[in-house]
Amino acid sequence: MYLLALMFGILLLPEGKFFFSSTLTCYECIPDASGKCNETIQECPQSAQCASKRFVSYEGGLKVVDQNSKECVMVKDCGEYSINYGFSQSKVNTMCCPTALCNNELAPEPQYKPNGKQCYWCNGRTCTNTINCEENEDYCFSITGIQGQNVTTKGCVSKQSCTTRDPSWARGTPSPCCQGNLCNSAISSHIAGLVLLAPPLLYLLVTSY
């Protein structure tokens, strides 16, 4: 009799209001401008997972950014994202897990082993230089017109970054990615230059849902 009453009570609950929540609680630690953060616990939106992230950026072979964070992310944003400009490279490793407070560990640094693929990259006014792509950088890219200027940037990029709808790093360039060695054209641009805005854009791309 008590079991029947319990079942009847559940049926009368508003839609989605059950005894067990379908959301996760995860650690959150978003660093400020100084790189420091205070770890808290937050409830994630539905369909999100807990994640530990690591954002690493290199310029001229030197590591200039190495930042860890913890937060809730959508499943589509899990994994490694990478953009390689030849003169600089940025990688984000988003390590996801589906249980409460499972993101207690820091994410490892992304890997950097060459994968056999090559793309063109721009140095000054010339875009005939080639670069060896690494790990999951399966695509080449070519972007023109960033920040309203006649600027061209080329390099290697991960598939996840290319398949994201309206990728922020592409700055409105239609279909910036291509598959195949050196598919991003060796033609010199009218004004090619360094685009230092893009690494932060990669980080913003994978830290929003």
What is residue 173's predicted lDDT score, i.e. its pLDDT?
A: 54
Residue 61, pLDDT score: 83
Give CA angle at 31 (96, 84), nearest 5°. Answer: 65
Residue range 152-168, pLDDT digits in tens: 889 999 988 877 654 55
Would you state the pLDDT for residue 189? 44
The answer to whether residues 114 and 132 touch, using CB atoms and an 8 Å cutoff, is: yes
Q: What beta strand segments (E) does the chain contain? A: 25-28, 40-43, 48-59, 62-74, 79-84, 88-97, 114-123, 126-134, 139-144, 152-157, 177-178
pLDDT of 9: 40
With tokens 């790990």, the residue in question is 135
Ranges of the chain with pLDDT below 50 = 1-20, 166, 188-201, 203-209
pLDDT in tens, 193-209: 333 334 444 544 444 44
pLDDT for 168: 53
The closest of 117, 96, 105, 120 to 184, measured between CA atoms, is: 120
